[in-house]
Structures are given as C-alpha cells and as structure tokens.
Structure 1
C-alpha cells in the first residue's frame, strides 16, 4: 500500500468521524442556547414586574409629597412587607399633617400591627383634638384593642347593655334575703380613657363587674321591696 493510499484512508476516516460528531455538538449547543435564553427571559420578566410595581408606588408617593424612596420600596419587597399598605398609610399621614416616617410604619408592620388602623385613628384623634401619640397608638393596637373604636368612644360615649343580648340572657337574676328573686336589666354608659386603655377593662369585663355588683347589692338587701324602693343602692355598689 502506497503512502498516498494511506493518507487518503486517514483523511476519509477523519471526515467520517467529523460527520458523526458534528450534529451532536450542534444539538447540545442549541439546547444550551435555548435554556439560557429562557432563563434570561424569565429574569427580565420578573425584574420588569418588580420595577413596574415599585415605580408605580414610588410615583404615587412622589405626587403626594410622601417622600418614599425606591430603595425603601425594594427593601420592603425583600423583607416581606406590604409596601402598598405602607405607602398608602404614609400618604394619609402626610395629607393629614402627621409626621410619621416610613421606618416607623414598617417597624409597626413587622411587629404584627395594623398600620392603616393606627393612621386612621391618629387622624381621627387629631381632628377631635385628642392627645394621642404614635407610640401610644401602636401600643394599643399591639395589645389587641381596636384603636379606631377607642378613639370614637372617647369622643362619643358608648352604651353597654347588661347582660349582653348576644349571651341569650335577657336579665340578671338575683335573690334578696326574703327569698324573692329580682330580675334586673342595666345600661352602662362608658367613655374611653386613651391613656389607660392598655391593661384597662374590656366591654366583657365591664359587663361582668356590673353583673357582680347587681347580684351583690340585691343579695344584701333585706327584701325585694328595698331593692325596688332604692335602686340607687345598686348603682353605688356597681361604682365601688
């Protein structure tokens, strides 16, 4: 076999090898390109959606002179904070003339507070000229009390029925010393003291105390006539 034939055979073998390997290499490269393109497209869509939402809230705050930075909004996203609630609360506060920072609102939100309720309560208190600070309002809200109702009750006293009609009982029953049963229904007018609201009596506590006072007053009366003739004794006992 001549050298020319040997070289021709080697060239033919190399060509056949290239022919077998070429399509596989092209297939792998095409797949990698498609995967990379899909990943990039998904990233662009996610970033675009995030930017659209952030810019929308930022523009809304900017037009309201609320001064909420884009970096604050992006940070809220990563900290799982409802940025829309914070921005709306900030706008309400600014429009009402209240100076409450974004950081304070975010801190209360992360503590489990109801930011919008606090802002609405502060606005109502400011309009009613009630001295209510932001920290006090946050403390009341975190204590589980309805801060908005508390402000309204401090302006307009609330009437509480004793016993509570929802309990299914229509009267408070007690027995005087003569063995006669007396049925009583009472109505109590209460006004909220904002400064003492945390740790203070709830509506259920007030109803329970009034009921105890009524039972004690009737039980210590000589007879049922004494109760009917002197109803003020029940009121005095309840107020003790």
Structure 2
C-alpha cells in the first residue's frame, strides 16, 4: 500500500507530487518508529512486568539501565524475584554489581535464602566475598 502511494505521488502533478511524497515519507517514518518502539517495549516491558507482578520492585528505568550497561537483565530480574519471594532483601543494584563482577549470583541468592531459613546472620557482601575467594582458589 505504501509503495502504491509512493508510485502515485511520483506520477502526480509537480506541485502535488512533493506534498504527497512528504506525507507518504512521514507515514513511513512514523510506522518505523512504532515498530522500533514496540520491539523495545516488548523486551524491556516484559521484564518489568514480570518483576512488577512478582512485587520485586524493579523500576522500568532500572531495566533500561541494565540493558544499556549490557547486564544480564533477564537473570537479574529472575534472581530478584527469587529473593523477594523468599523474603530476602537484596537490592537490584547489588545483584547487578555482583553479576558484572562475575560472581555466581544465583548460588549467592540461594545461600542468602538458606541462611535466612536457618536463622544465620550473613550479609550479601559476605556471600559475594566468599564466592570471589572460592573462584580465586579454584582458578576459574
């Protein structure tokens, strides 16, 4: 349909041709912007919606920031939901920082959950430090 409108604009009278061509070009650009925005919102919005429905308190801005920093946003959302549902308070920033450091974040979150269930007092920084030490010892 857009191509037929462009063809009609090319074959129209010179004064009409420019106006019609600009209208078709404007519609084409708007259509492209809608497609790009839709893809963006589908990727980002689905992660945010998943966190929102699980009451994990991750803002849309945080998800966008994770994507821009090339953090594993999908994993971070999953880990945050795990921690939230278990009643463990770990911030999204702490999860992202640990992931960017190369820590085994899923194992660390599970360790925090187990520690809370057994009544042990342990902090997120202690768990990540232990993971870092273990990675250095193992040489991986």
Normalised by the length of structure 2, the TM-score is 0.70
The match for 2:95 among 105, 110, 120 is 105
CA RMSD of aligned residues (A): 2.9
Matched pairs, number: 126
Among candidates 27, 33, 38, match of residue 43 of structure 1: 33
Distance 1:113 1:35 in 2: 49
- Identify, as 1 or 2, the structure richer in helix: 2
Q: Which residue of 1 aligns with 2:49?
A: 59
Structure 2: any 5+ residue segments left out of the alignment? 1-12
For 1:34 and 1:117, the matched residues in 2 are separated by 54
**Which structure ranks higher in relative contact order (CA pairs < 8 Å, sequence separation ≥ 6)?**
2
Mark the runs of 5 or more structure 1 residues left unpaired by the alignment. Answer: 1-21, 146-197, 203-240
Mapping 1:162-201, distance limit 5 Å? none
User: Rg bigger for which structure?
Assistant: 1
Q: Is the 8 A contact 1:85 1:115 kept in 2?
A: no
Q: Which structure dedicates a bigger proportion of its chain to strand?
A: 1
Residue 69 (structure 2) pairs with residue 75 (structure 1) = no
Q: 2:113 aligns with which of 123, 142, 153?
A: 123
**Whole-angstrom CA distance in 1 between matches of 2:115 and 2:28:** 54
TM-score w.r.t. length of structure 1:
0.44
